[in-house]
Each structure stands twice: as C-alpha cells, then as structure tokens.
Amino acid sequence: MALRYGLNPYQKPAHVFVQQGQLPFKVLSGAPGYINLLDAFNSWQLVRELKMVLGQPAAASFKHVSPAGAALGVPLNDVLRQSYSVEDLELSPLATAYARARGADRLCSFGDFAALSDIVDAPTARLLGREVSDGVIAPGYEPEALEILRKKKQGKYLVLEIDPTYEPIEIERRDVFGVTFEQQRNTLIPDARLLENIPTQKKELTPEATRDLILAMITLKYTQSNSICLTYNGQTIGIGAGQQSRIHCTRLAASKATTWYLRQHPAALHLPWKSSVKRPDKANAIDQYLRDDLTPAEEKEWETFFSQVPVRLEAQEKEEWLSNLQGVTLGSDGFIPFRDNIDCASRYGVSYVVQPGGSLRDGDVIAACDEYGMLMAFCGVRFFHH
C-alpha cells in the first residue's frame, strides 16, 4: 500500500507491505500516513491485550507512538463525566473506555489516533466524531458508526478495520541506517502471574489493584522507553514516556496525574465559560487555569475565554485536594534504580508498584515502599519499547 509520505513530507516514496499473505487491515475512509500506521498498530496491540487479559472493552489514545491514555470500560461517575466533557452523551462500555483514555491527558490527546478493542458502536462513533482526532483502528464498525465516522473531516478521517485474528510472523525486522535489525517479536502478555513475587511488608492485593497493575504493565509494553505509568480505577492517569532518566519519567507521570485530578476540582468544573469557547480551547484553558507560571501575555489571552476572570486555586487548596487521591498504581518498564522514584510517588497517592526488580539497590527501594506502606511486586521482566 502506498502512503502519502514517510515520517516527514519530504520522505517519499513510502509504502507498507507484508512479506507473506495480505495486509491485515482495510482502509474504510481517509488515506493513511506512515505515522498514522505506526500509532495504529502499536495502539491496537495494547487494547487487544487489555481485552484479552482483563475481559473488558479497552481503548487507547495514541500520539507519536506512545499512549496519551489507555483505559477500560469502567463506568464513569458524574464528576468524571463532566471533567471529560461527556456529560451530555450516552456512553456504551466501549465509549466509556475511550472517554477515559482521552480524558487521562486531554492536552496530549489533541489530534490523537484512537484504538478500540471491540466493534465500534454509534455512541463511541459520536464521541470520536466531536473530538479532534486523526484516525481510529478497530476490529469492525456498526453501519451507523461507520456512517458517522466517514463524515468526519469531510471524509478525510482515517478509519481502519483490523483483522482481529491476525497474528504476525514470529521474527520482526526493521532497517536503521541501511542496517537490518532482527529479533523475536515481543509475545509476552502481562497478567496476574507476574504479580506473585511481592517483597514488601504489604502483600494483600485487591482485585482492583491487580487490574490496575496489569493495565500499567500492558500500557508500558507499548510506551516508548524509559517509561513510568500511573493507573487508577481502570485507566491511566499519568504517563512519563521516552525520558533518559527514570526519575524524570516519574516526575512527568506525576505531573500529568496531578493535572488529571485537579481537573476534577469543583473550581475547575464550574469555570465561567463564554458560550463561544470550543472544546479544544476549554481543554487548553483549564490546563492554564491550573498552572502557576503563566506569562503576562498568556494570562491576558487566557482571560478572554471567560465571562468573568476566575479565582485561581491557591497552592494550599491544590495540596488539600490532591491529598484525597489514594490507591494509585505505579508501573515501571525497567528496574527502579533509586528510592527517589518511590519518594516522589508517595506524594501522589501511590499505594501499589510493579517493576522488574534486579537493581543493586533493590533493598533501598523495598525499604522505601515499606516506609510509605506501599505494596510492590517484582514482575521479573522488562518492557522496553523503542
């Protein structure tokens, strides 16, 4: 299949092909690009494995070959429906999964590629239809859902149908600088068996914690390394991807989780919007409302979104609100080398940790978890993805 271009517009020609058989997907609308397909195939594997292991509809919101969010179809309460801007929609379990995935990081999900584990129904298509998104991949589409999606972006919205029975060949290859790399495909699918080695004093895993630990591991498997993933109640709430230092991954994930939770503060939910403000502008404006470092020019522009200038949250108000966030799970794609990651995580409601283990300082990390009353599992496997 010919593509518009490669990673950049000047990289032509560009194609995709398989060495055996037929391409495992169909283009139902739009024209795929190189990056579209990288996001599509990575995100499809993520939601397929979530559905396979956890048995619930799953969704992912991808940007630049890493998830901005991933989630299961766990029902939303009224606060989250409002925070995710879906209070006016009928939500099926699949639509709920995408609302959660998209709501995890609304700023980074702008212009995302969506992946859905199940046949797309009309409620999910309506939600996709009003978000700024570049495309979607799923195993099928109900006729009404496909009609809705084919109208998006004047017919240019990319709709891909993946063969759910497709299994790639065991050996995968890619070329870098004229040199071909070859390896066995990563076929390990994380499940509860990887959570049996618990070296901390706290050892009792609830079903919800087990679910969120598995969600973190599968998400990390398809996130550019180094990476840290924070999960809560069936969804990611903060992902730190592609950083050279693990503590930077942890800080980035924690920062995103902070924004996610502060967006549910009553002050953020009831901002005095002007009626003309569009959905993407609201997402950006809420992010600016929660920031403490706006420049005078940003402040002036930000004020134009409101019928009256909102009162900003004080630092103490933010801290008090964040103190209510408890029971968060942290997953690490590689071993945690220093306890500073745990010290940082303790400030953001983390109660459960999963990591490969194997660091020279495992003892220090275990001791830190015990200090904070965290449960930590050594899964024994690394989830690097490049």
pLDDT score of 343 = 98
Predicted confidence band of residue 254 (pLDDT cuts 50, 70, 90): very high
pLDDT score of 180 = 96
* pLDDT tens, position by position, 36-48: 999 999 999 999 9
Prior bond of 168 cis (ω within 30°): no
Residue 19, pLDDT > 90, answer no
Q: In a 10 Å sphere around its CB, with 0-12 CB exposed, 13-18 middle and 19+ buried, how is residue 179 labelled?
A: exposed
CATH code where residue 288 lies? 1.10.287
Rounded CA separation 98/63 (Å): 14
Does 226 qualify as catalytic in the annotation?
yes
* pLDDT tens, position by position, 113-137: 999 999 999 999 999 999 999 999 9
Lowest mean pLDDT among 60-74, 219-233, 271-285: 271-285
Clarify whether residues 90 and 135 are in a common domain.
yes
pLDDT score of 123 = 98
Clarify whether residues 280 and 363 are in a common domain.
no
Residue 74 tokens read as 């766990």
Clarify whether residues 118 and 214 are in a common domain.
no
Contacts for 147 with CB less than 8 Å, ≥ 6 apart: none
Predicted confidence band of residue 372 (pLDDT cuts 50, 70, 90): very high
Does 63 qualify as catalytic in the annotation?
yes
Q: Across the chain, what does the average pLDDT equal?
A: 96
Clarify whether residues 214 and 360 are in a common domain.
yes
Predicted confidence band of residue 203 (pLDDT cuts 50, 70, 90): very high
pLDDT score of 20 = 85
CATH code where residue 226 lies? 3.40.140.20
* pLDDT tens, position by position, 208-242: 999 999 999 999 999 999 999 999 999 999 999 99
pLDDT score of 80 = 97
Look at residue 204 and tell me if it is in a domain. yes
Catalytic residue among 36, 42, 51, 63: 63
Clarify whether residues 206 and 330 are in a common domain.
yes
CB atoms within 10 A of CB 25: 19
Report how many domains make up the chain.
3
Look at residue 5 and tell me if it is in a domain. no
pLDDT score of 263 = 97
Q: Which domain holds residue 129?
A: 25-162
Clarify whether residues 298 and 360 are in a common domain.
no
Domain boundary among 162, 192, 207: 162
Clarify whether residues 72 and 197 are in a common domain.
no
pLDDT score of 292 = 87
Lowest mean pLDDT among 121-125, 293-297, 339-343, 366-370: 293-297
**What are the contacts of 72-77 at 24+ separation with CB within 8 A?**
72/97, 72/100, 72/211, 72/215, 72/234, 72/235, 73/97, 73/100, 73/234, 74/100, 74/233, 74/234, 74/235, 76/100
Does 386 qualify as catalytic in the annotation?
yes
Catalytic residue among 226, 265, 318, 385: 226
Clarify whether residues 204 and 301 are in a common domain.
no
Contacts for 352 with CB less than 8 Å, ≥ 6 apart: 205, 209, 212, 213, 327, 328, 329, 330, 374, 375, 376, 377
Phi, psi (rounded to 5 degrees) for 317: -65, -40
Clarify whether residues 289 and 334 are in a common domain.
no
pLDDT score of 22 = 94
Clarify whether residues 103 and 190 are in a common domain.
no
Are 319 and 341 spatial neighbours (Cβ–Cβ below 8 Å)? no
Residue 166, pLDDT > 90, answer yes
Contacts for 258 with CB less than 8 Å, ≥ 6 apart: 238, 322, 348
Look at residue 253 and tell me if it is in a domain. yes
